[in-house]
Structure formats: C-alpha cells, structure tokens
Chain A
Amino acid sequence: MIELRNVSLKYGEKEILKKVSLTVQDNTIKAILGPSGVGKSTILKLMLGLIKPNSGQVLVDGTDITGMKESSLYEIRRKMGMVFQGNALFDSLTISQNLGFFLRENMKLPEEEISRRVAEQVQFAGLEGYEDQLPESLSGGMRRRVAIGRALIFRPHMILFDEPTAGLDPVSSKKILSLISSLRHNNNLGAVIVTHIIDDVFNVADSVAVLYQGEIIFDDVTEKLHESEHQFIRSILSDKILEL
C-alpha cells in the first residue's frame, strides 16, 4: 500500500502540490487524472522517493520514506516497478539486455534464472524475435511494452505508469491498456496510472484521484466520477482529453 499524507511540494516559488493526500491499496488500479504539467508525474516520483516533499509524509507498506537515505530507499523501490513516460530504456543495450539489466545489477540470481525471466517477459510483451534489437529500431508501442516488461521482471507488488498511452496510436494504446488490465488479473498486481486521457481511466482504473491546481478535488471509485458536481470534472467528462 502507498499513502501520501498532506504532501506539499514547491519548485522554486511555484507551488506544485498543496497538502495532497491519497492512498493506493494493494491489488487495485488507481488512476491520477489531471491536465498536463499539474504535478501528476511528480506524485509518482514522490512515491518512489526520487524527490522529497517540502512537507507531509509518503508511506510505502507503512514505512515512512520521506526522510530516508538514498541507500535505504533502494530496497523500498524494488517493491515497485516504474514505467516512465519516455520509457527510459537504455539506448545502447538490446531489448533482452534492457529487460535483464536490473536483475543482473541488483539481484544475485543465476544467469539461467535471469535468461528464463527475460524470455518470460519477451513472450508476455509479444516481442519474440526482437530480443537482440536496440530500442531505437522498435515502434513506440513496442518500446512501451519493453518498459512494462522491465518493470515487471522484478516481480514487484505495485507498478507505476506515467502516461502509459501518451504518444501511441489507438491500436497500440488498446494493447497497452489490456496489458495493464491483465496484470492485476494474472499477476495480482496493484498499479498507479498517471494520465490526462479520461478514457484510459474508465478502461482500467478501479478508483481515480483528480488533481487540479495542486489539489485533489476528487478521490473515489471511477464510477462515481460521473456524479461529481465539480465544474472542472464536468468539463473533462465532456471533453474526454485534457489539454488545459
């Protein structure tokens, strides 16, 4: 379980988050919805301890990670997998090297086990035959699937997705969303999805938090979003994609 308690964050003079509180339960998919540049990706980085809040607490499985040293955070981070918006694949490594990179780096596993897990993820992402190619030779959707595979290979409890369908064509988007849905059903995983596309929320999320002007203005099950009277939510429900 990941919990944010009254988290505030400033970049210079700009207040990004104002006393944000939200909880992500295990084995559920939570979406964080909001316009671009409102601080959604920042929330994911706070959950991983990549940045520290000015005030408030971030708890992962009950452990407060706010004041933790970088070296202590590595153990916590391995409970979560992260799929970055730009995929963040290592461009000088092949697909199979990318998939196996962190297993070789951080886990003392025999090479056979690493190869087995890499093959498993290659199959899961539908990338058979591309193992020895560099990321630059793959399409956007394929690269995103490699990034998901890399996040999954650790067998984390929770996966964090930063704009999982941004920049993808409708077919690739659909594939990625069905891949995310299958994670919970097949792998019993929880997920946090940051997005500005409202259809993504209705397609995969159990609950949704809406971030607007640095504050959470809605946090409930996805179905209740339609019942909200908030003007901003009413407008996004009619526009579907937030371009504010």
Chain B
Amino acid sequence: MGGKNEKPTFTRMKTGESTASSPHAQVMPLAFIRALEKRLVLQLKDFFLTMQEFFFFSVRAFMAFPKMIRYWRDVFDQATICGTDSIPIVLVSAISIGALLAIEVGNLLEDFGAKTMLGRSTALTVIRELGPLLMGLMLSARFGSRNGAELGAMQISEQIDALRAFGTDPIAKLVMPRLVAALIMFLPLTALSDFAGLQSAAYMAEHYHRIDPGIFWNAVYPRLVAKDFVVGFLKAPVFAIIITLVSSFNGFSARGGTAGVGRSTIKGIVVSSGLVLIANFYVSKIVLENM
C-alpha cells in the first residue's frame, strides 16, 4: 500500500472498459485532483493571509484615532463627501421604499381589516430594518466605491508609497479620516432615511389608502419603544466600520493597473454590501433577543 512505484487503480471510464488499459486516463484524473488540491490550498492560504492583513489594517486605522485633531481638515472633507453629498441618494431610496411599503402593506392589511395598523407596521419596518439597511447599501455603493477607486488609483500610481517614503502614515492620513467621518455622519443619515421613509409612507397612506394622518401617526409614535431605535441606530456605526474599512482595504490592495483598480473597487462594494446585509440580520437578532 502506498509504495513508491505502485500505481493506484482507477474506476472504469466506460462500462466494461478499465482505465488500466489506458495509462493517460489513469494519470489525468490524479493530476487534475492534485492540481485542484494545490489550488484550493493556495486559495485558503491566500484567504487567511488577506484576513490577517485586514485585521492589522483595521487595528491601525483605529489606533490612528488620536491623530484626528491633526487631520481634522481631512475628516471634514470626508464628512462632506459621505454625509452632505450622500443626502440626495439616501432621500430618494428612503422615499421610494417608504411609499412602496405603505402601498403593499396597506393592501395586505386591508384584507384583514387592519388598515389602521399601517402606521405601526411601516414605522417598525422602516426604523428597525429598511431605513438603516437601505442607507447602508446606498452608502456602500456611493461612499465605498469612491473610497475603493480613489485609494486604488493612489496605490497604482505609487502615491501611497510616496506617503510612506516621505514619512507619513497613509492609514492615518487616508483611512482614519474616512472612518471617523463615516462614524459621525451615518447616524444623522439613518435618522434622515427613517424620517423620509415614514413621511412618504404617511403621504401614501393618506392619498392612496385614504387613512387619516392622525390615525397613521397615532399608530406610530405612542407604540415605538427604545428597543426599536436601538436596533436601527446601532446599525449605523456597524455599517460605517464595515463599508469604510472594506472599501479602503481593497483600495490599498489594488494591483495591476487601471483594470486592477476596477477589480478592487467592485470587490470592495460586493464584499461590503454582503457584510452589511449579514450585519443587519445579526444586529437585529442580538438586540431584539437581549432587550
């Protein structure tokens, strides 16, 4: 067993035809499996190395927080980019989903004769889930793609190496301000998203379902509890950390010219959007189970 010159016998290729008669048929599957195994091992190794690099990258970004005062201009610039400049897209997505939710949920509740519950159901969905989630996805696309492309282009054109070469920590200069700005701005953006979503839902309730605004809002305000806001607003900093660090890390890892910048940007958006969706579920689950 397992002798050096011992060739393993293989399964039949066709009925009645043994691979023993064809030496190539014996070698090829083995070579294929070995190549596959080697590739899998390399990919796993690469994955864990990337995870390790991402961990240290994130730690360095948080460790650079004391330099916030020194880079306050960069923080302010990034706050404008991820905050003020993102208001239109956050408003558009929140208004459209709030209106759509009111129409669909209203139709459903009508079947049960519970249309007056529209305010409550819409408020819970928007404040706990859809408001922060949509804001997260929109900012992942807008702020995350900008980070990935900008930092990727800087990496490709050796600007990040130049920062290091002349004695500036690129993570403190480029990543920390983005992270601080996102942590500050994602909270008011979540509030804005919730507010716009609820207002558009109230508008549709009044004009589509003919529900009196007093009845709608009366089902919203008195019934909302602290837990509902904690679930929604806790997601803002979690999404800020995920989107900023993932997109920046991918920008810093860009290799291979302009095509490489494109690849790293897409990877940043896909990974951060996926993580936002996963985090959205777990934050809700953890808070709702423990509060």
Hey, which bits of chain A sit against chain B, CB under 8 A? 45, 48, 50, 70-71, 74-75, 77-78, 80-82, 84-86, 88-91, 102, 105-106, 150, 154
Contact = CB atoms under 8 A, between A and B. Distances in A.
Contacts of A90: 159, 162
Contacts of A81: 166
A133 B168 CA distance: 24
B158 A88 contact: yes
Contacts of A88: 157-159, 161-162
Given A88-B159, A106-B168, 7 more contacts: A70-B169, A74-B169, A77-B164, A77-B166, A86-B158, A88-B162, A90-B159
Interface string B233-254: 0000000000000000000000
B167 interface: yes
B161 A78 contact: no
A164 to B, nearest CB: 14
A85 B166 CA distance: 15
Interface majority SS (helix, strand, loop, mixed), chain A: mixed
12 contacts: A48-B164, A50-B161, A50-B165, A70-B164, A77-B167, A78-B166, A82-B162, A88-B158, A102-B167, A105-B173, A106-B168, A150-B166
Contacts of A84: 158, 161-162, 165
Contact of B167 (A78, A85, A91): A78
A150 B167 CA distance: 13
B166 A154 contact: yes
Contacts of A50: 161, 164-165
B167 A75 contact: yes
Most B Cβ at <10 Å: residue of A70, A74, A75, A88: A88
Interface string B162-179: 101111110001000000
Contact of A106 (B161, B162, B167): B167
Contact of B166 (A70, A86, A91, A106): A106
A45 B161 contact: yes
Contacts of A86: 157-158
A132 B272 CA distance: 38
Contact of A105 (B157, B158, B161, B168): B168
A48 B164 CA distance: 9
A143 to B, nearest CB: 12
Nearest to A90: B159
Q: Which of B161, B166, B167 has the most CB of A within 10 A?
A: B166
Nearest to A102: B166
Given A88-B157, A88-B159, A88-B161, A82 B166 contact: yes
Which A-B residue pairs are the 4 nearest by beta carbons? Answer: A88-B162, A74-B167, A88-B158, A102-B166
Nearest to B60: A70
A48 B157 contact: no
Contacts of B168: 74, 102, 105-106
Contacts of A106: 166-168
Contacts of B157: 86, 88, 91
Nearest to A107: B167
A94 B202 CA distance: 50
Nearest to B167: A74
Contacts of B162: 82, 84, 88, 90
Contacts of A77: 164-167
A37 to B, nearest CB: 14
Nearest to A77: B167
Contacts of A82: 162, 165-166
A235 B194 CA distance: 72
B165 A48 contact: yes
Interface in B125-168: 157-159, 161-162, 164-168
Nearest to A70: B169
